[in-house]
Structure 1
Amino acid sequence: MASSAHRSMASALLFLNLIIYVVVAIIAGWAINYSIDESKNSLEGVSPPVRLFPIYFPIGNLATGFFVIFALLAGVVGISTSLTGLSDVKEGSPANMMSAASSALVAWTLTLLAMGLACKEISVSWRPASLRTLEAFTIVQAATQLLCAISLHAGAHAVILETPIGGRV
């Protein structure tokens, strides 16, 4: 059946996204931890720049704070979306497939926001290798999450078409 092909593709993309979101969350979490640890050393004897966050980011540029926070947010939401999406796809009912598809769309919009900030950070100035890695993973994640959301919507549509009226799968 067509829905089983969509479900297997969606499951594979959800698993891939889970792995990438975990990597994004780990790198963004490291960047925040590094900034918290190094803020005290970086600001000794220097007046800090305009504070947009309670954390001063000694790595990167002025867009780093926004980017790292939104990358961590997208990573955490993406991890939860991927985990619940895997269980929803395994269940396979139309309601579960639509739930997975809508949560994938929410995770994609957050990832797009983080990707936009990554592009802004790239255009501002030089960054260390750890931030360039986070930017690359975020940009790739935006594309794979879009494919996952499309696959989930197609799978949900196929399951709805295969479900008899008033019946269960």
Structure 2
Amino acid sequence: MATAGLKPVASLLLVLNFCMYVIVAALGGWAINAAIHHGFLIDTGLALPAHFSPIYFPMGNAATGFFVIFAVLAGVVGAASAIAGSHHIQSWNYETLPAAVSSAFIAWALTLLAMGLACKEIDLHGRNAKLRTMEAFTIILSGTQLLYILVIHGGATPTRRS
């Protein structure tokens, strides 16, 4: 098979993306936990503040809440996509390609959405080190996930039947 040389590259990208997606999901989980613990409590007789947002995060800026939510979604879907992609890497044939590419493409689309929100968050300034790490990983993942899709798509060839 002429494309068998792409299998180690796809395996490396799969492991790299899985680890990075897990880190993004874990950091996003930390941010959501911090937001829940520092949230606004409404008691009897209290009214909501004038500019109350249900996606309020005490760290970061106005884009942080949206970025964290979509980064966690991208992290979970990306990690699941990597687990599904491991079956394709093991068999490395044309029959397992559609499932691997479709799940990887959905993860990439969510990662691009989170990357756009990360760019907006960078533009607004005022983030801590964990959010900057999430932003960097999300931006890097948008490229490595696309490279992974291209490698597995170029690596499988149709089987010939006699």
Fold similarity call, TM over 0.5: yes
| Residues 3-152 of structure 1 aligned to structure 2 (within 5 Å) | 3-40=3-40, 47=49, 49-51=51-53, 53=54, 55-152=55-152
**Counterpart-to-counterpart distance in 2, 1:72 and 1:94:** 31
- The unaligned stretches of length 5 or more in structure 1 are none
Q: Deviations over 1:39-68 (max 9, x none)?
A: 148xx99836332x3x42111111011000
Deviations 1:103-125 (A, max 9, x none): 21111111000000000011012
Asked whether the equivalents of residues 78 and 107 of structure 1 are also in contact (C-alpha less than 8 Å), the reply is yes
Q: Tell me, yes or no, if the aligned pair for 1:101 and 1:152 is still in contact at 8 Å.
A: yes
Distance in 2 separating the partners of 1:128 and 1:45: 30
TM-score by length of 1: 0.86
Deviation at 1:93, TM superposition (A): 2.5
- Cα distance in 1 for residues equivalent to 2:35 and 2:50: 13
Distance 2:37 2:29 in 1: 12
The TM-score with structure 2 as length reference comes to 0.89
Greater helix fraction, Structure 1 or Structure 2: 1
Aligned with 1:2: secondary structure? coil
CA distance in 2, matches of 1:12, 1:33: 32
Measure the CA separation in 1 of the matches of 2:50 and 2:21: 32
Indicate the percent of aligned positions where both proteins have the same amino acid.
49
CA shift at 1:12, angstroms? Answer: 1.2
Deviation at 1:85, TM superposition (A): 0.1
Instruction: Check whether the contact 1:70–1:113 (CA below 8 A) recurs between aligned residues.
Output: yes
User: Are the equivalent residues in 2 in contact too, given 1:24–1:75 (CA < 8 A)?
Assistant: yes
Q: Distance in 2 between matches of 1:108 and 1:96?
A: 19
Task: Return the alpha-carbon distance in structure 2 between the equivalents of residues 118 and 72 of structure 1.
Answer: 12
Opposite residue 49 of structure 1, the aligned amino acid is H
Q: Which amino acid aligns with 2:51?
A: P
Gaps of 5+ in 2: none
> After superposition, what is the alpha-carbon deviation per residue over 1:13-40, rounded to whole angstroms, capped at 9, x for unaligned?
1111000000000000100001101114
